[in-house]
Amino acid sequence: MPAPEKGYTCAPRASSHAPSIPRRAAHSGRERACCRDHAQEGNALGQPRRILFGGLALLGLAAIACQVSCRKPFEIHVLGGSTAYGEPYGPDLNAASIASYLLGGEVDGRPVVVVNHGRRGATSSQVLGSLEAVPSDADLVFLYSGHNEFLNIDEPDDLSKLDRQLVDRDPLPADRRRGILERYERNIEAILDRSKERGIPILVSTVASNTAAFDPNRSVLADAGHREAVEALAARAFGSSGAAAEEAWRGILELEPGFAWAHLGLADLLRAREDYAAARRHYVLARDLDALPYRGTSSQNEALRRIAKERGAPLLDTAAAFEAAAPHGLVGYERMWDNCHPTLEGYTIIADLIAREVARMRGLVLPGVDGGEASVARFFGVDDEARFEVLHSRGRFLYSFATLVWAPQERLLRARHYLEQAREIQENAHLLSSLAVVAALQDEPDQSAAFWRRALALDARRTRRRWSDERVQEIMQRSARLRQEADRLGPEIESGSWLPW
């Protein structure tokens, strides 16, 4: 996974989800994406975050605080990657903290404390290591891990080039892929076994992902000799519609059953004709057959279900819950910001599963707290400033992800959508610089230059910092038109001058 631009943060405060945009722009057979493997989300949080819910800390009820403050807190320890952490809302607003809110802030009269061990980009091996920080007298562990096993497996590309292709290079030999998945299963088993040995109750969750609206990163061939035929059939599919396009996609799958993009193209056609069950099957295959998967796969979720059953651990089937809540069972941007990070409504789905299981385990009746998105946002103080930060962070995250795929239009459209929504709340040089980068990735040099100049007028120092990032400089060299504009802009930005527009 490549590093993001310097100063990039994936942990703003909070937000509700943004409305969706049209599903997929048309692709031509010659379209290719830029390069680079994903925006690095960070590696460590330092000390776990301890978040108190109930009593005076959040409820502001002094009487309750007096009643429960002298009692040992009910501690929920959260293990996992960025979704466990609370991305993009930050460590204080995640599934476990919302679950505490749904529980009324206390369990058996004890104030709930959420201890967040989540780490952005953490693999299951790192999650296993974080278990050592959980004390033996913890009341509960919540485990949510599975999206990060394939991070950092490929070398970053040069962003000045267009290296990604429909038929792409396989970054991962089959035996290594199997090894990664086997290691994942061993780590999950070890987490459950060690928790049991120490007498710590643990809740295991499957992982949900954006299955129906997020393209696979890499599609590869099992037989290189099929390349010419696959490219010809794909060109026919992109240049037609209906039955002709379906015939072309199915023709690819007859040759290469594991070609991820063909499953995606077929799924889109099946969805358009309202064959939702078949569409879901092919969307799932497109995700699972991605040669560079940055989403948890079906085999990982099946392993989580099996291991939890074998160890007698309660299983929260988050993946199934997201499908049940999604239109026609097709999980998309309605409750996901990107490939795998839930919106506030999505986090509340997970939180409801946690709260109900805690209530079952402890013989409690849930207090009937309003779990609607607006109520949760109000309780946690999600204001315009928070929404701005989340929208900006997701826009940057998605345009970084756009450099992973051969046809980046869909991710760039979504990134720009988020950034424009953030601009409606607030306009600053940091945001305008991000819009300039998106415009450059969309090969719109005039628009990119206009954003850079506007940013420079607002904050020259911040704009220079964004402009000077090596990844931004690579992007500004991607076409002759961009290079010409960059040659004109460079002296202006470096000197601090700007032209009226």
Query: What's the confidence (pLDDT) of residue 493?
Result: 86
Beta bridge partner(s), residue 50: 115
* pLDDT value of position 161: 76
Mean pLDDT to the nearest integer, 340-365:
98
Q: Which fold has domain 385-495?
A: 1.25.40
Cα–Cα dist 285/264, whole Å: 8
Strand pairing category for 315-316 and 202-205: parallel
pLDDT tens track for 446-479? 999 999 999 999 999 999 999 999 999 999 998 8
Is the separation of the CB atoms in 313 and 191 below 8 Å?
A: no
**What pTM was estimated for this model as a whole?**
0.87
Among residues of the chain, what percentage have pLDDT more than 70? 85
Classify residue 365 by burial, with Cβ atoms within 10 Å: 0-12, 13-18, 19+: exposed
pLDDT at 415: 98
Average model confidence (pLDDT) for the chain? 87
Which residues make beta-bridge pairs with 78?
Answer: 116, 142
Query: What pLDDT digit, counting tens, does each position of 387-407 carry?
Result: 999 999 999 999 999 999 999
200 token code pair: 């710590």
pLDDT of residue 298: 98
Phi-psi region of 315 (alpha: psi -120 to 50; beta: other; left: phi over 0): beta
Name which CATH class applies to 49-215+293-381.
alpha beta
By DSSP bridging, strand 110-116 and strand 49-53 are antiparallel
pLDDT tier at 52, thresholds 50, 70, 90:
low
199 exposed, middle or buried (CB, 10 Å; 0-12, 13-18, 19+)? exposed
- Provide mean pLDDT across the span 2-20: 33
304-332 confidence digits (pLDDT tens): 999 999 999 999 999 999 999 999 999 99
Same fold, 224-288 and 385-495: yes
Residue 492's pLDDT band (boundaries 50, 70, 90)? confident
In the prediction, which pLDDT does 50 show?
62
Which pLDDT score is estimated for 51? 58
Q: With H, G, I as helix, E, B as strand and everything else as coil, classify residue 316.
A: strand
**Per-residue pLDDT, 48:** 66
Predicted pLDDT of residue 3: 44
CA distance 425 to 186: 46
Which residue reads 């599919």 in tokens? 237
- 211-267 confidence digits (pLDDT tens): 999 999 999 999 999 999 999 999 999 999 999 999 999 999 999 999 999 999 999
CA distance 264 to 246: 11
Q: What is the CA radius of gyration of the chain?
A: 23
The fold of 224-288 is 1.25.40
Q: Hey, where are the domains in the chain?
A: 49-215+293-381, 224-288, 385-495
Percentage above 90 pLDDT, the chain: 78
Q: Report the distance separating Cα 475 and Cα 31, nearest Å.
A: 17
**Gap between the Cα atoms of 143 and 95, Å rounded:** 11
